């Protein structure tokens, strides 16, 4: 927009066309497109387009925030999926079209900020302009005729306006004053801070990382690349930015509502109690809670999930332990009915896979099915479906530790077999059908799933956000205005004092400000205001 | 004690709804009276000239032609309507406070409570704004809107009190949601003014429209009022966005993740940013910017209802 105008200047109505335009050369066209891009109208259209373009990302699951939703969408809409995927709708906010809109918008914004900053810097040094000849055509015009000394009236007008925060200049028998330069400053700070946020977000995302790790009570996690379950590095990430600290999960506390009949089982408190060891070997105790992450080694550790990890031991028929582990089971519902998988490829006569369902507080539904009725560990039960056959672990293809595909395997307990699922309480040992061996549930531990984040620019983002808010407040609510006081000598010892103002941008309080100045000034001179 | 408070809270909600309905009827009677030719006060002359403002300075001067500078005597139904609104609002606030006392926390942790408190804040903003400008002609719109929202919330969204999940146990719940509701209140009034502006400018151009418009400020004045109200809403909304980001950083480990609710909050912010720029853009002042204000407020309501109830995301606190 025109840099010599205040931000909220109201253009005059469009001119009637019919102007013959000169032929534009290459540079001329560049200049023309730059003018178009940095015009207010284009900026407004881009802004509205940006709002519109953000909508699809809220209608369709996004890979960044809901990857499972995308997979589900694909199976539910096999025809629509490839079309939307080509259009990058599942990555709306990093898609080419969305990026194009906001990049153009920000180029337009920068093209607006730079000339306006230059102009404003000049305006900050400039003196108030000459007093207009006819004040009666301006806002809040007030005129007083009284017996007073012209020079004294001008002096007191100058000091009054100075006291009110105006920049004052004398022009002959008049005073010209301007105030509210902070309005444009705030406006420029606001818009520059928007650019700052964009850059800081980009840098933070590029230089940072986030990683996830499930830790069972008693286990340790070390902040090195290989110790993560999943890891999402930024574009410019280098593994040097990982500080090698260690976190050991000592215990995990969970409190569930037991009193309120409408909220039985609602989790009201989680705390992962950990021992931390920083890179220099200093240890400390802390707890990681929801809404209260742990700050350690340039990163923050968040508690994002938790569940149960039954401790299982598999023995061969001779009683030799062939496999033992605390297996994290993934929660399926609010009462923590959880699913987990055990794969025993070696040590038994056949490869054995088990799909377990864990009920922390088990109950039998009317249908005969089992269900958990409370997330606390009141009456735990583990059921196992057991399969034999090739688990596919020797193919060299990575397999999820949380899933077991029973296709191609032979059920020997539960599922399609004629034997019931194995059922174990804590401390129970049961035989695996077919004389393969035994499985024991020796205890149940809790696990916590941690999210580790490093974003070197997030404080910058916060700083720019605060500037945005501050710039908005000053840019919108500080009025920029000019005020003139003119003293005209009339016949005899009388003078006529004229007051008027001019708004520069939105200024609904201008008239009352001018009349207020007139009233104060005449009071200072000991005059009574004659309407 | 908890149950007694909870019951009294429900009684207060339904009483408030009843009194709001009476106020709504009285506001409607007031508009009907304004439409009656005999009592219509003719004050178009002074104000119509403002609609064709030519340059910045002159326009700003005329912009102060607001209804407050001709404080005509309010009709009896209008006085009654305002009285009933105040009574209903006190009941409404009592309902929210009792709900909070019963729950031992702020009364905005699920869909019913959001609706209860947000509508109380909207009416609070409407009442408070009367000290600044006489906007009582919006009474039908505001009470109608609140009856609808509060009624739906009480009948369809009601859930018994339950404790806060840990993710909501944060000071940001108090700040973030309260300021968002405050912003919504200003946007609601801004949209009402813009609606009146659209009707008024149609009347000024074609003479069509309900007759009570003659007693309302000119389209240009309505536009200026809407603009000033929406500016305040926009500042609150910006704050909501920033506070939400700070909270999201603490609770979810990232300040921005394009969660559905975040997306819609961003969309609303962008629409109103557009609204503010529209005023300085040739060809966008007037009815077009009024439409933006209405679209923006519709997006707020969409975010509040449809996104809360039907969209998948992290802000799943409706409790339904």
DSSP string, A331-376: E-STT--EEEEEEE-SSSSS-EEEEEEEESBEEE-TTS-EEE--SS
User: Would you call A66 and B58 a contact, using CB atoms and an 8 Å cutoff?
Assistant: no
- Taking CB atoms and an 8 Å cutoff, what residues of chain A touch B166? 267-270, 289-291
User: Would you call B159 and A270 a contact, using CB atoms and an 8 Å cutoff?
Assistant: no
Q: Is residue B317 part of a domain?
A: yes
B166: nearest CB among A44, A267, A466: A267
**pTM of structure:** 0.88
Q: In the structure encoding, which two tokens stand for residue A128, read together? A: 């108030």
In this predicted structure, the answer to whether residue A8 has a pLDDT above a threshold of 70 is no
**Residue-level pLDDT at B228:** 94
> Which of A139, A265, A288, A292 is best to mutate for the B interface (most B CBs within 10 A)?
A139
Taking the alpha carbons at both ends of chain B, their separation in whole angstroms is: 25
A65 to chain B nearest CA, in Å? Answer: 7
User: Would you call B277 and A55 a contact, using CB atoms and an 8 Å cutoff?
Assistant: no
> Which of B281, B284, B292 is best to mutate for the A interface (most A CBs within 10 A)?
B281
A97 touches chain B (CB under 8 A): no
User: Would you call B58 and A65 a contact, using CB atoms and an 8 Å cutoff?
Assistant: no
Taking the alpha carbons at both ends of chain A, their separation in whole angstroms is: 42
For residue B96, the enclosing domain spans: 1-39+61-163
Name the A residues in 139-168 with CB < 8 Å from any B CB.
139-140
Residues B152 and B187 in one domain: no
User: Would you call B270 and A54 a contact, using CB atoms and an 8 Å cutoff?
Assistant: yes
Cα dihedral B214, B220, B221, B224 sign: positive
Residues B245 and B158 in one domain: no
| Percent with pLDDT over 70 in chain A | 95
B119 to chain A nearest CA, in Å? Answer: 25
User: Would you call B274 and A47 a contact, using CB atoms and an 8 Å cutoff?
Assistant: yes
Residue whose C-alpha is closest to residue B114's, from B275, B266, B313, B304? B304
Range with the poorest average pLDDT among A164-173, A259-268, A438-447, B116-125:
A259-268
A103 touches chain B (CB under 8 A): no
Q: Is residue B50 part of a domain?
A: no
User: Would you call B61 and A51 a contact, using CB atoms and an 8 Å cutoff?
Assistant: no
User: Would you call B169 and A291 a contact, using CB atoms and an 8 Å cutoff?
Assistant: yes
Q: Is residue B15 part of a domain?
A: yes
Residues B231 and B106 in one domain: no
Range with the poorest average pLDDT among A36-40, A220-224, A271-275, A288-292:
A36-40
A516 touches chain B (CB under 8 A): no
A415 to chain B nearest CA, in Å? Answer: 33
User: Would you call B235 and A13 a contact, using CB atoms and an 8 Å cutoff?
Assistant: no
A71 touches chain B (CB under 8 A): no
User: Would you call B281 and A41 a contact, using CB atoms and an 8 Å cutoff?
Assistant: yes
A93 touches chain B (CB under 8 A): yes
User: Would you call A260 and B163 a contact, using CB atoms and an 8 Å cutoff?
Assistant: yes
Within a 10 A sphere around the Cβ of A253, how many other Cβ atoms? 13
User: Would you call B252 and A304 a contact, using CB atoms and an 8 Å cutoff?
Assistant: yes
* Closest chain B residue by Cα to residue A102: B270
A373 to chain B nearest CA, in Å? Answer: 18
What chain A holds in terms of domains, given with CATH numbers, is 26-119 (no CATH), 127-180+479-524 (3.30.310.80), 205-306+451-467 (no CATH), 308-443 (no CATH)
Residues B252 and B300 in one domain: yes
- Taking CB atoms and an 8 Å cutoff, what residues of chain B touch A465? 242, 245
**Last residue within a domain, chosen from B147, B163, B179:** B163
User: Would you call B161 and A260 a contact, using CB atoms and an 8 Å cutoff?
Assistant: yes
Quick one: three-class SS letters along A427-457?
CCEEEECCCCEEEEEEEEEEEEEEEEEECCC
- pLDDT band at residue A191 under the 50/70/90 scheme: very high
B300 to chain A nearest CA, in Å? Answer: 13
Residues B81 and B137 in one domain: yes
User: Would you call B166 and A66 a contact, using CB atoms and an 8 Å cutoff?
Assistant: no
**Residue-level pLDDT at B41:** 44
Render pLDDT for A467-508 as a digit per residue (tens, 0 to 9). 999 999 999 999 999 999 999 888 777 888 999 999 988 888
Residues B184 and B152 in one domain: no
User: Would you call B166 and A61 a contact, using CB atoms and an 8 Å cutoff?
Assistant: no
- pLDDT band at residue A164 under the 50/70/90 scheme: very high
Our separate counts of H helices and E strands in chain A read 10, 24
**Residue-level pLDDT at B270:** 97
Contacts with B38 (C-beta within 8 Å, 6 or more apart), sequence order = none
Q: In the structure encoding, which two tokens stand for residue B132, read together? A: 């600044």
Residues B205 and B315 in one domain: yes
DSSP string, A122-165: HHHHSPPPPPPS-GGGSEEEEEEEEE--HHHHHHHHHHHHHHTT
> How many residue contacts between A and B have a Cβ separation below 8 Å?
173
Name the A residues in 380-419 with CB < 8 Å from any B CB.
none
In this predicted structure, the answer to whether residue A273 has a pLDDT above a threshold of 70 is yes
Question: Checking DSSP bridges between strand A429-432 and strand A220-222, what pairing results, if any?
Answer: unpaired
CA angle A464, A107, B270 (to 5 degrees): 60
A121 touches chain B (CB under 8 A): no
Residues B201 and B261 in one domain: yes
- Taking CB atoms and an 8 Å cutoff, what residues of chain A touch B231? 476-477
**Residue-level pLDDT at B63:** 36
- Taking CB atoms and an 8 Å cutoff, what residues of chain A touch B250? 291-293
A11: nearest CB among B57, B282, B311: B282
Render pLDDT for A395-444 as a digit per residue (tens, 0 to 9). 777 777 778 888 888 888 887 888 889 999 999 999 998 889 999 999 99
Residues B112 and B234 in one domain: no
ipTM of model: 0.87
B253: nearest CB among A8, A61, A302: A302
B254: nearest CB among A47, A270, A453: A453
Residues B6 and B130 in one domain: yes
Per-residue pLDDT of chain B (320 residues; tens, 9 = 90+): 778 999 999 999 999 999 999 999 999 999 998 887 644 444 443 333 333 333 222 333 333 344 443 445 678 899 999 999 999 999 999 999 999 999 999 999 889 999 999 999 999 999 999 999 999 999 999 999 999 999 999 999 999 988 888 888 899 999 999 999 999 999 999 999 999 999 999 999 998 888 889 889 999 999 999 999 999 999 999 999 999 999 999 988 889 989 889 999 999 999 999 999 998 888 888 899 999 999 999 999 999 988 888 887 777 777 77
**Last residue within a domain, chosen from B163, B193, B216:** B163
Q: In the structure encoding, which two tokens stand for residue A204, read together? A: 């933070």
**Average pLDDT score over chain A:** 89
- Please state the domain count of chain B: 2
Q: Is residue B257 part of a domain?
A: yes
A419 to chain B nearest CA, in Å? Answer: 40
Residue A123 CB-density burial (10 A; 0-12 exposed, 13-18 middle, 19+ buried): middle
CA B190 to each of CA B272, B290, B294: distance values in angstroms, whole numbers, following the listed order: 11, 9, 8
Q: Give yes or no for a contact between B281 and A11, defined as CB atoms under 8 angstroms apart.
A: yes
- Taking CB atoms and an 8 Å cutoff, what residues of chain A touch B54? 12
In this predicted structure, the answer to whether residue A306 has a pLDDT above a threshold of 60 is yes
* Closest chain A residue by Cα to residue B173: A291
Render pLDDT for B21-42 as a digit per residue (tens, 0 to 9). 999 999 999 999 888 764 444 4
Q: Is residue B45 part of a domain?
A: no
Residues B91 and B185 in one domain: no
Q: Is residue B129 part of a domain?
A: yes
- Taking CB atoms and an 8 Å cutoff, what residues of chain A touch B280? 1, 7-11, 40
> Which of A10, A454, A461, A504 is best to mutate for the B interface (most B CBs within 10 A)?
A10
Render pLDDT for B149-198 as a digit per residue (tens, 0 to 9). 999 999 999 999 888 888 888 999 999 999 999 999 999 999 999 999 99
Within a 10 A sphere around the Cβ of B311, how many other Cβ atoms? 18
User: Would you call A10 and B59 a contact, using CB atoms and an 8 Å cutoff?
Assistant: yes
d(CA A362, CA B201): 68
- Taking CB atoms and an 8 Å cutoff, what residues of chain B touch A98? none
Within a 10 A sphere around the Cβ of A458, how many other Cβ atoms? 19
Q: Is residue B55 part of a domain?
A: no
In this predicted structure, the answer to whether residue A63 has a pLDDT above a threshold of 50 is yes
Q: Is residue B203 part of a domain?
A: yes
Region A56-69 average pLDDT: 88
B36 to chain A nearest CA, in Å? Answer: 33
> Which of B66, B69, B132, B253 is best to mutate for the A interface (most A CBs within 10 A)?
B253
In this predicted structure, the answer to whether residue A21 has a pLDDT above a threshold of 80 is no
User: Would you call A468 and B238 a contact, using CB atoms and an 8 Å cutoff?
Assistant: yes
- Taking CB atoms and an 8 Å cutoff, what residues of chain B touch A57? 258, 263
Q: In the structure encoding, which two tokens stand for residue A475, read together? A: 């840019």
**Residue-level pLDDT at A328:** 94
Residues B197 and B147 in one domain: no
**Last residue within a domain, chosen from B128, B163, B198:** B163
* Closest chain A residue by Cα to residue B169: A291
Segments of B106-240 assigned E as strands: none
């Amino acid at each position: 927009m025109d840099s010599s105008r205040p931000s909220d200047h109201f253009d005059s109505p469009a001119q009637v066309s019919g102007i013959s335009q000169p032929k534009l050369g290459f540079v001329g066209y560049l200049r023309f497109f730059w003018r178009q891009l940095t015009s207010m109208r284009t900026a407004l259209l881009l802004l509205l387009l940006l709002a519109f373009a953000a909508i699809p990302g809220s209608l369709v699951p996004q890979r960044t925030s809901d990857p499972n939703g995308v997979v589900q969408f694909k199976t539910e809409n096999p025809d629509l999926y490839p079309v939307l995927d080509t259009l990058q709708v599942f990555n709306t906010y990093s898609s080419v079209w969305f990026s194009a809109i906001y990049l153009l918008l920000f180029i337009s914004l920068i093209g607006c900020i730079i000339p306006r900053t230059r102009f404003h810097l000049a305006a900050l040094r400039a003196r108030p302009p000459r007093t207009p000849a006819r004040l009666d055509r301006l806002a809040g015009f007030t005129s007083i005729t009284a017996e007073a000394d012209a020079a004294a009236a001008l002096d007191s007008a100058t000091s009054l306006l100075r006291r009110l925060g105006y920049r004052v200049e004398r022009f002959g028998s008049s005073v010209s004053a301007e105030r509210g330069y902070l309005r444009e400053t705030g406006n420029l700070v606001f818009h520059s801070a928007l650019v700052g946020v964009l850059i800081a977000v980009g840098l933070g995302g590029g230089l940072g990382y986030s990683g996830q790790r499930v830790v069972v009570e008693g286990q340790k996690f070390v902040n090195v690349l290989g110790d993560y379950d999943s890891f999402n590095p930024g574009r410019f990430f280098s593994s040097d930015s990982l500080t090698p600290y260690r976190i050991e999960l000592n215990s995990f506390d969970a409190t569930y509502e037991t009193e309120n009949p409408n909220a039985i089982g609602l989790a009201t408190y989680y705390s992962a109690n950990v021992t931390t060891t920083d890179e220099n070997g200093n240890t400390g105790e802390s707890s990681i809670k929801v809404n209260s992450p742990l700050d350690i080694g340039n990163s923050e550790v968040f508690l994002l999930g938790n569940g149960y990890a039954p401790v299982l031991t598999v023995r061969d028929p001779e009683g030799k332990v062939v496999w033992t582990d605390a297996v994290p089971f993934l929660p399926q519902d609010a009462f923590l009915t959880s699913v987990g998988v055990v794969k025993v490829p070696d040590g038994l006569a056949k490869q054995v896979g088990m799909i377990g369902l864990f009920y922390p507080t088990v109950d039998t539904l009317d249908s005969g099915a089992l269900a958990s009725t409370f997330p606390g560990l009141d009456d735990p039960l583990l059921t196992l479906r057991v399969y034999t056959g090739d688990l596919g672990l020797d193919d060299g293809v990575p397999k999820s530790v949380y899933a077991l595909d029973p296709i191609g395997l032979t059920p020997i307990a539960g599922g399609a077999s004629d034997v019931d699922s194995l059922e174990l309480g804590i401390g129970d040992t049961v035989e695996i059908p077919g004389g393969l061996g035994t499985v024991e549930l020796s205890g149940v531990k809790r696990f916590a799933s941690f999210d580790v984040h490093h974003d070197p620019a997030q404080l910058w983002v916060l700083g720019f956000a605060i500037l945005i808010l501050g710039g908005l407040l000053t840019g919108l609510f500080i009025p920029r205005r000019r005020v003139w006081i003119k003293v005209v000598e009339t016949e005899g010892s009388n003078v006529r004092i004229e007051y008027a103002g001019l708004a520069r941008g939105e200024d609904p309080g201008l008239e009352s400000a001018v009349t207020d100045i007139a009233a104060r000034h005449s009071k200072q001179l000991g005059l009574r205001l004659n309407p | 004690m908890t149950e007694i408070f909870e019951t009294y809270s429900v009684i207060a909600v339904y009483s408030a709804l009843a009194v709001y309905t009476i106020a709504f009827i009285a506001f409607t009677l007031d508009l009907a009276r304004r439409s009656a030719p005999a009592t219509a006060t003719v004050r178009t002359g002074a104000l119509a000239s403002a609609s064709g403002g030519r340059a910045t300075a002159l326009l700003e001067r005329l912009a102060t032609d607001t209804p407050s500078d001709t404080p005509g005597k309010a009709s009896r139904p209008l006085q009654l309507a305002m009285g009933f609104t105040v009574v209903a609002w006190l009941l409404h606030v009592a309902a929210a406070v009792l709900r909070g006392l019963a729950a031992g926390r702020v009364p905005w942790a699920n869909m019913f409570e959001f609706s209860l408190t947000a509508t109380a804040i909207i009416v609070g903003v409407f009442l408070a704004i009367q000290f600044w400008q006489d906007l009582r002609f919006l009474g039908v719109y505001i009470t109608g809107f609140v009856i609808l929202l509060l009624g739906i919330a009480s009948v369809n969204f009601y859930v018994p009190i339950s404790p806060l999940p840990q993710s909501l146990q944060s000071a940001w719940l108090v700040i973030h949601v309260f300021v968002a509701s405050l912003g919504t209140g200003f946007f609601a009034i801004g949209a009402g003014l813009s609606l009146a502006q659209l009707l008024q400018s149609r009347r000024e151009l074609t003479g069509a429209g309900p007759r009570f418009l003659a007693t309302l400020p000119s389209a240009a004045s309505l536009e200026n009022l809407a603009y000033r109200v929406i500016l305040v809403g926009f500042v609150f909304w910006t704050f909501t966005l920033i506070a939400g980001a700070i909270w999201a950083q603490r609770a979810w480990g990232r300040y921005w993740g394009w969660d559905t609710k975040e997306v819609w909050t961003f969309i609303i912010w962008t629409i109103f940013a557009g609204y503010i720029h529209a005023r300085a853009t040739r060809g966008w002042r007037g009815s077009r910017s009024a439409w933006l204000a209405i679209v923006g407020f519709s997006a707020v309501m969409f975010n509040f209802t449809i996104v809360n109830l039907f969209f998948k995301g992290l802000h799943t606190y409706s409790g339904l």
